[in-house]
């Protein structure tokens, strides 16, 4: 029976999200603060071109000098500024077989935020993975001026799998481990410092009828920010599995979700709630410790969900996919806060959580020059802040029941904290 | 289910619900003194009499209104003024829920998206459409008859026996033979009930429910179509999804119609139902009614009173489609991603349409 009563929703808290679509457009969706306005598309970057189709995106979400990595279908990787969309660097991954070809496209991209190989504000590290299983660690030097967007790079390449095709790759919170999985590839965990395989999963046993379901991982995520040992993977046979490296090679918990393949899995900061999206547009949250359904996110979502992200501070998630809508949901009440129609099939979405503070700090016309001038002191400050935030988020999960009533107030309070 | 709810919810809520009901009843009673509703009369004969009287009254009033309107119109015409604006009836279509996905003609992103979508190769005349038609595993009676009708409608369509092949294998085969689409006619109880249209080489796959099928031979005074390439009429495909489905249908037909053939194939979308019709048309010169000609066609061109009229003849078949799902990529029920699926929770309003 359809739900006839609607729970009073508190409207959209201030947020900024970036979406990436199959025409290579990057659209910035913003909801401005106090008036509880509906989010709107404020900016569109890039020209519509199918060869520039965005396959993967990664955001370094920090107050000072945030970076956005975008992997295009043509095999190019661009590092942009998520503030104004300027291309900071653009490289193409070199490999034996051309990555631009259809059968060896980039499936995963991660931009490192931590210090690695002496990266500074003028350079960054990124990890890419192609569907043939070529993982690539690249060190990119960014040019300061906009005209010279070439950028130097050094690369290290290794093979993650011999056969099959990789469909998902993720890097853990400490950025020292990465997992890869796909069609015909069991999930692997690699140590990024040594470029060595640490662990690989084992496929579950045949069922009672002696039927073996072939391995086909479609999405995966690490469960917790500080722990690389537990991760959740979704399979094409609509199964969600929790693996624990320290326990066993077979899944610890596994359960089914609906009838279509799992297409997106995202974790909450509390470390036990996960959000699952599947090929027919169903979105639900599960408690992974028990494998029990917490609830479904209902709202006329009709197209396959390609990407789910949790906002780092606010209790909201965003989902997007083939129905061309960016949907923002409240986590606690599981109500749809707003839906933005973005005209193209969307491939991924990221939250830019620090935008309000950034706007407060720097007036927009000075941003470019100021970013390069800022000293390391600020970076240190920022680190302290992140620590604080972690603590805060832990406290949040502790007082879960109290929160629901004061949701609107608290979200306001959060934004004040950061500012 | 109702019982369960009663058990779970305490009596307090029932009281709340009853209160306004009582108030409403009281209000009705107060109004009732002025206008008694016939349904409140218990004697049947009296009730019928009152009802008839009321109905008569309404009819008279309506007639008066219409007459007044007509008079006003006439008067305006005589005086040469602007006639009063025509009333537009409220229909479900024109009170449709506002939809932000409706395509606008000045949307550049839409055209950019169209240029690179799966159908653009066919629609830009780079590939000529070649259709493979097959059936479900079992088919009989109306199924094959429908297919032979369909082959006469769609140019360059080829029927292949289904045999025991998997649909995925058939798609693979069709890809190798450079077909541009696969149509699967699904029959249930000897009656075609679903249509699966697969775009090749990479999707999408549309699943339609097929109903109200009338074959050519069942249509009275049906015409026999020629083998000319037909013209195509697609109406009312407004939203993004509708646009996509429209383009998919368009890609089944050649893009260079032969107007000599005077064949027209119509896909008309109304309230998410797509009506298919197939006609032949003819332009005729006909005498006007002043010369009694009993509908005879005279090709006498000397007559100054003649005018050209268009006549339609239906060729059939005739059927109605309703979209159930649109899948990204070719047919894959297990691992497929859907672009759009119909879900029961969408049906909360009868004024919401998706195409």
ipTM here: 0.78
User: What does the pLDDT look like over B183-210, one tens digit per residue?
Assistant: 999 999 889 999 999 998 888 999 999 9
Chosen for mutation from B13, B207, B341, B352 (greatest number of chain A CBs closer than 10 Å) is B341
What's the whole-number average pLDDT of chain B? 85
**C-alpha distances in Å from residue B286, one per residue of A348, B268, B281, B291, B295:** 63, 29, 15, 10, 8
Contact A279 B337 (CB under 8 A): yes
Q: What is the arithmetic mean of pLDDT over A131-138? A: 86
Q: Which of B116, B240, B328 sits opposite A50 (nearest CB)?
A: B116
pLDDT over 80 (residue A100): no
Q: Is residue A64 part of a domain?
A: yes
pLDDT of residue A113: 79
3-state secondary structure of B15: helix
User: Which residue's entry shows tokens 């009838």?
Assistant: A259
Q: Which of B101, B336, B340 sits opposite A341 (nearest CB)?
A: B101
What is the DSSP code string of B298-327? ---TT-TTEEEEEEEEE-S-EEEEEEEEEE
What's the whole-number average pLDDT of chain A? 78
Contact B240 A302 (CB under 8 A): no
| Residue of B201, B207, B164 lying closest to B183 (CA atoms) | B207
Structure-model confidence comparison of residues A380 and B69, the more confident one: B69
Quick check: A18 and A352 in contact, CB under 8 A?
Answer: yes
Contact B337 A261 (CB under 8 A): yes
A261 touches chain B (CB under 8 A): yes
Residue A354 has phi, psi (to 5 degrees) of: -100, 15
With beta carbons under 8 A apart, name residues in chain A contacting B9.
none
Q: What is the arithmetic mean of pLDDT over B121-148? A: 91
Q: Kindly report which listed range (A142-146, A256-260, A272-276) carries the lowest average pLDDT score.
A: A142-146
Tokens, residue B185: 């006619």
| Residue of A52, A49, A64, A3 lying closest to A372 (CA atoms) | A64
What is the location of CATH 3.40.50.10480 in chain B? 108-290+303-346
* Separation of alpha carbons B322 and B207, rounded Å: 8
pLDDT over 70 (residue A46): yes
3-state secondary structure of B196: strand
* Separation of alpha carbons A171 and B190, rounded Å: 55
* Separation of alpha carbons B65 and B114, rounded Å: 50
Q: What is the arithmetic mean of pLDDT over B21-45? A: 67
* Separation of alpha carbons B29 and B278, rounded Å: 58
Quick check: A217 and A258 in contact, CB under 8 A?
Answer: no
Interhelix angle A407-418/A376-398, nearest 10 degrees: 160
Tokens, residue B144: 């094959």
* Separation of alpha carbons A134 and A136, rounded Å: 6
> Given pLDDT bands bounded at 50, 70 and 90, which one contains residue A103?
low
Q: How many residues does chain B have?
A: 355
| Residue of B218, B206, B222, B190 lying closest to B267 (CA atoms) | B206
With beta carbons under 8 A apart, name residues in chain A contacting B341.
280-281, 302-303
User: Helices (DSSP H) in chain B: which residue ranges?
Assistant: 2-8, 11-32, 44-79, 108-116, 120-123, 142-153, 167-176, 240-250
Quick check: A354 and A61 in contact, CB under 8 A?
Answer: yes
For chain A, the domain total comes to 1
Q: How far is A410 from chain B (nearest CA, A)?
A: 31
Q: Is residue A19 part of a domain?
A: no
Q: How far apart are the first and last CA of chain B?
A: 35
Q: How many residue contacts between A and B have a Cβ separation below 8 Å? A: 77
Burial B178-194 (b: 16+ CB within 10 A, else e): ebbbbbbbbbeeeebbb
User: Which residue's entry shows tokens 């009073």?
Assistant: A8
The residues near A364 (Cβ < 8 Å, ≥ 6 apart) are none
pLDDT of residue B10: 44
* Separation of alpha carbons A27 and B190, rounded Å: 51
CATH number of B108-290+303-346: 3.40.190.10, 3.30.390.30, 3.40.50.2300, 3.40.50.10480? 3.40.50.10480
User: What does the pLDDT look like over B327-338, one tens digit per residue?
Assistant: 998 998 888 899
Task: Give the rounded percent of residues in chain A with a pLDDT score beyond 90.
Answer: 18
- Give the torsion through C-alpha atoms of A77, A79, A83, A86, to 10 deg: -90
> Given pLDDT bands bounded at 50, 70 and 90, which one contains residue B44?
very high
What are the residues facing B199 on neighbouring strands?
A: B181
Quick check: A124 and A116 in contact, CB under 8 A?
Answer: no
User: Which residue's entry shows tokens 């009694």?
Assistant: B292
Structure-model confidence comparison of residues A403 and A271, the more confident one: A271
Q: Which of A8-22, A49-63, B40-54 has the highest mean pLDDT?
A: B40-54
pLDDT of residue B347: 85
Q: Is B141 left (phi over 0), alpha (psi -120 to 50) or beta?
A: left
Contact A261 B334 (CB under 8 A): yes
pLDDT of residue A1: 47
pLDDT of residue A91: 82
pLDDT over 80 (residue A392): no
* Separation of alpha carbons A353 and B348, rounded Å: 35
pLDDT of residue B298: 47
CB-CB neighbours of A4 under 10 Å: 6
Quick check: B341 and B316 in contact, CB under 8 A?
Answer: no
pLDDT of residue A262: 93
pLDDT of residue B234: 94
Q: Which of A263, A302, A341 sits opposite B341 (nearest CB)?
A: A302
pLDDT of residue A314: 86
Q: Is residue A27 part of a domain?
A: no
Tokens, residue A12: 């959209």
pLDDT of residue A264: 93
pLDDT over 50 (residue B95): yes
pLDDT over 50 (residue A410): no
Q: Is residue A6 part of a domain?
A: no
What are the residues facing B192 on neighbouring strands?
A: B187
pLDDT over 50 (residue A383): no
Q: How many helices (H) and strands (E) does chain A have?
A: 5, 28
pLDDT over 80 (residue B20): no
**C-alpha distances in Å from residue A203, one per residue of A251, A412, B82:** 8, 46, 80
Q: Kindly report which listed range (A78-87, A268-277, A317-326, B276-285) carries the lowest average pLDDT score.
A: A78-87
pLDDT over 60 (residue A76): yes
What are the residues facing A297 on neighbouring strands?
A: A283
Q: What is the arithmetic mean of pLDDT over B278-304? A: 65
**CA A213 and chain centroid, separation:** 28
pLDDT over 80 (residue B304): no
Half-sphere exposure of B54 (CA within 13 A, CB side): 11
Q: What is the arithmetic mean of pLDDT over B162-169? A: 92
User: What does the pLDDT look like over A333-350, one tens digit per residue?
Assistant: 888 888 888 888 999 999
pLDDT over 60 (residue A47): yes
* Coarse DSSP helix, strand, coil percentages of chain B, rounded to the nearest 5 percent: 35, 25, 40
Q: Would you give the DSSP letter of residue B111?
A: H
Quick check: A50 and A94 in contact, CB under 8 A?
Answer: no
User: What does the pLDDT look like over B65-79, one tens digit per residue?
Assistant: 999 999 999 999 898
Q: Which of A379-388, B25-34, B181-190 has the highest mean pLDDT?
A: B181-190
> Given pLDDT bands bounded at 50, 70 and 90, which one contains residue A172?
confident
Residue A23 has phi, psi (to 5 degrees) of: -95, 5
Chosen for mutation from B100, B113, B347, B348 (greatest number of chain A CBs closer than 10 Å) is B113
What is the DSSP code string of B19-51? HHHHHHHHHHHHHHTTS--GGG---HHHHHHHH
User: What does the pLDDT look like over A288-304, one tens digit per residue?
Assistant: 889 899 999 987 788 89
**Domain containing residue A348: CATH number:** 2.130.10.10
Query: Which structural domain range is residue A314 located in?
Result: 40-418
Q: How far is B316 from chain A (nearest CA, A)?
A: 34
Q: How far apart are the first and last CA of chain A?
A: 44
């Amino acid at each position: 029976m359809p739900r006839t009563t609607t729970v009073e929703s508190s409207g959209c808290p201030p947020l900024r999200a970036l979406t990436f679509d199959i025409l290579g457009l990057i659209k910035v969706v913003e909801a401005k603060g106090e008036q509880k306005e509906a989010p709107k598309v404020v900016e569109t970057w890039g020209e519509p071109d199918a060869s520039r189709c965005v396959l993967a995106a990664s955001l370094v979400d920090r107050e000072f000098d945030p970076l956005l990595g975008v992997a295009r279908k043509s095999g190019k990787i661009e590092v942009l500024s998520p503030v104004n969309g300027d291309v900071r660097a653009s490289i193409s991954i070199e490999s034996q077989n051309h990555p631009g070809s259809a059968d060896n496209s980039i499936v995963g991209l991660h931009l490192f935020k931590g210090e690695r190989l002496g990266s500074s504000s003028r350079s960054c590290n990124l990890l890419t993975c192609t569907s043939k299983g070529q993982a690539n660690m690249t060190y990119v030097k960014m040019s300061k001026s906009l005209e010279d967007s070439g950028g130097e790079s050094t690369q290290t390449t290794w093979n993650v799998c011999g056969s099959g095709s990789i469909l998902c790759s993720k890097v853990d919170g400490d950025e020292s481990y990465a997992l890869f999985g796909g069609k015909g590839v069991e999930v692997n965990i690699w140590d990024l410092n040594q470029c060595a395989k640490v662990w690989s999963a084992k496929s579950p046993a045949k069922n009672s009828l002696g039927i073996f379901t072939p391995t086909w991982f479609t999405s995966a995520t690490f469960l917790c920010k500080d722990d690389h040992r537990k991760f959740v993977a979704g399979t094409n046979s609509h199964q969600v599995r929790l693996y624990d490296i320290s326990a066993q090679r077979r899944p610890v918990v596994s359960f089914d979700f609906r009838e279509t393949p799992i297409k997106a899995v995202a974790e909450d900061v509390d470390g036990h709630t996960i959000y699952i999206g599947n090929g027919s547009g169903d979105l639900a949250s599960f408690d992974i410790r028990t494998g029990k359904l917490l609830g479904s996110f209902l709202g006329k979502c009709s197209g396959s969900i390609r990407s789910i992200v949790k906002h780092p501070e606010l209790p909201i998630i965003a989902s997007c996919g083939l129905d061309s809508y960016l949907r923002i949901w409240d986590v606690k009440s599981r109500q749809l806060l707003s839906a933005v129609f973005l005209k193209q099939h969307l491939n991924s979405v990221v939250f830019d959580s620090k935008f309000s503070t950034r706007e407060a700090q720097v007036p927009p016309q000075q941003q470019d020059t100021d970013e390069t001038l800022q000293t390391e002191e600020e970076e240190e400050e920022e680190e302290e802040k992140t620590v604080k935030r972690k603590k805060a988020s832990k406290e949040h999960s502790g007082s879960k029941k109290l929160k629901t009533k004061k949701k609107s107030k608290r979200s306001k309070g959060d934004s004040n904290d950061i500012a | 289910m109702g019982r369960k709810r009663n058990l779970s919810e305490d009596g307090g809520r029932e009281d709340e619900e009853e209160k306004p009901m009582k108030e409403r009843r009281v209000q009705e009673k107060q109004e009732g003194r002025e206008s008694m509703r016939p349904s409140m009369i218990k004697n049947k004969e009296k009730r019928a009499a009152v009802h008839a009287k009321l109905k008569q009254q309404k009819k008279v009033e309506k007639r008066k209104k219409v007459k007044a309107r007509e008079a006003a119109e006439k008067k305006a015409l005589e005086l040469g003024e602007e006639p009063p604006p025509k009333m537009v009836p409220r229909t479900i279509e024109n009170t449709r829920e506002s939809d932000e996905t409706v395509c606008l003609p000045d949307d550049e992103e839409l055209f950019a998206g169209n240029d690179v979508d799966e159908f653009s190769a066919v629609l830009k005349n780079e590939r000529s459409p070649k259709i493979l038609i097959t059936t479900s595993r079992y088919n009989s009676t109306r199924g094959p008859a429908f297919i032979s009708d369909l082959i006469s409608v769609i140019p360059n369509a080829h029927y292949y026996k289904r045999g025991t092949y998997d649909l995925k294998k058939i798609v693979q085969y069709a890809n190798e033979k450079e077909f541009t689409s696969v149509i699967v006619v699904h029959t249930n109880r000897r009656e075609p009930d679903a249509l699966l249209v697969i775009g090749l080489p990479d999707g999408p796959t549309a699943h339609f429910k097929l109903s109200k099928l009338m074959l050519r031979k069942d249509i009275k005074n049906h015409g026999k179509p020629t083998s000319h390439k037909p013209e195509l009429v697609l109406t009312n495909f407004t939203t993004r999804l509708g646009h996509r489905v429209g383009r998919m249908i368009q890609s089944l037909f050649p893009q260079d119609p032969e107007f000599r053939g005077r064949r027209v194939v119509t896909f008309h979308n109304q309230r998410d139902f797509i009506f298919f019709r197939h006609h032949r048309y003819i332009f005729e010169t006909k005498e006007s009614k002043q010369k009694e000609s009993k509908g005879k066609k005279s090709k006498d061109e000397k007559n100054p009173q003649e005018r050209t009229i268009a006549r339609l003849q239906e060729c059939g078949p005739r059927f109605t489609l309703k979209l159930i799902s649109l899948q990204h990529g070719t047919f894959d029920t297990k691992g497929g991603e859907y672009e759009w699926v119909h879900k029961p929770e969408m049906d909360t309003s009868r004024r919401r349409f998706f195409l």
